[in-house]
Amino acid sequence: MTSDGPLCLVTGATGYIGSRLVPVLLERGMRIRVLARTPAKLAAAPWRDEVDVVRGDLTDPASLDRACADGAGPVDVVYHLVHAMGTSADFAAAERQGALNVAGAARRHEVGRIVYLGGLHPDGGGLSRHLQSRTEVGHILSESGVTTMVLQAGVVIGAGSAAFEMIRQLCNRLPVMTTPRWVHNKIQPIAIDDVLHYLAGAATAAVDGSRTWDIGGPDVLEYGDMMQVYTAESGRRRRMIVVLPWLTPTIASLWVGLVTPIPPGLARPLVESLHCDAVVAERDIDAVIAPPAGGLTPYRRAVQMALNQVGAAGLLPSDPAWAG
């Protein structure tokens, strides 16, 4: 690394968001260090030779200490982008412990800032296990004593994202869909490029302290309408959607697992999270990170961009086999 920009530690660099964020940060002149349980998984990443790699795991505080202190100097920003959803039977416990370990290491080594990507959700109770866990992780990091920006996004639209792949697989395979009532819930999707814009900007944004910041695209739609827009943009006939009020999240997730290649351990928390609205409550982020130069990406355009990238050309070596 030859830049003199801020040194950013990225956890989850082999994941969907992290693997796409690293090159954006490099383009902005930042120095990058990544924490990887299996560094060999990064061998095919086009940016591998431009970053420092520390072997470690969120369950190992000593490896987090090394990542925060060794090499090119102390870390300025930690991007916490690891989610255990779909990889652990008790993903909430795994995410809680990982957040506690990251918070402790950041505090011990006087990291300047933590950036975390959480999930949009309404105030109050009734959240899914997935959203409860993300909310708890954001709280742990915010209470660490290190300035923390928790960006809260809803459905992320991009080739290979779990949320987009669920829409794509269902619409591609089923001309008639039976769905729970949440098909009428309000969603404010956001394009992956816009998520990366805000995450990258969070490294240097002027903020007074720790808090959450909602981010979302320009459109608010019902989930069913999102599916119909995808269907139109992919050249398919409009789908018939039949709402079954008694269809529980458990049954719906089993159904998604049967008709799509998305693993059931990932499908269930995704489905459960759709039972509440996911809409931006405030746009305070615009005061600290200006929107993208061309404006936020409309949902229809985000779908078009994702469809143009579906397949090998739009995926990364670290993306799961079921994506694309």
The tokens of 267 are what? 């499908």
Can you give the residue ranges of every domain in the chain?
A: 7-220+271-314
pTM summary value: 0.92
Q: What is the pLDDT of residues 224-251, one digit of tens each?
A: 999 999 999 999 999 888 887 777 767 7
pLDDT of residue 35: 95
Task: Compute φ and ψ for 231, nearest 5 degrees.
Answer: -60, -45
Alpha carbon 263 to its chain centroid, in Å, reads 17
Would you say residue 324 has pLDDT above 70?
no
Which CATH class, in words, describes the domain spanning 7-220+271-314?
A: alpha beta
And the tokens for 58?
């969120």
Residue 175 pLDDT level (bands cut at 50, 70, 90): confident
pLDDT band at 86 (very low <50, low <70, confident <90, very high): low
Given this model, what pLDDT does residue 127 score?
A: 78
What is the per-residue pLDDT across 120-170, written as a single tens digit (0 to 9) for each? 988 876 778 888 889 999 999 999 999 999 999 999 999 988 889 888 988
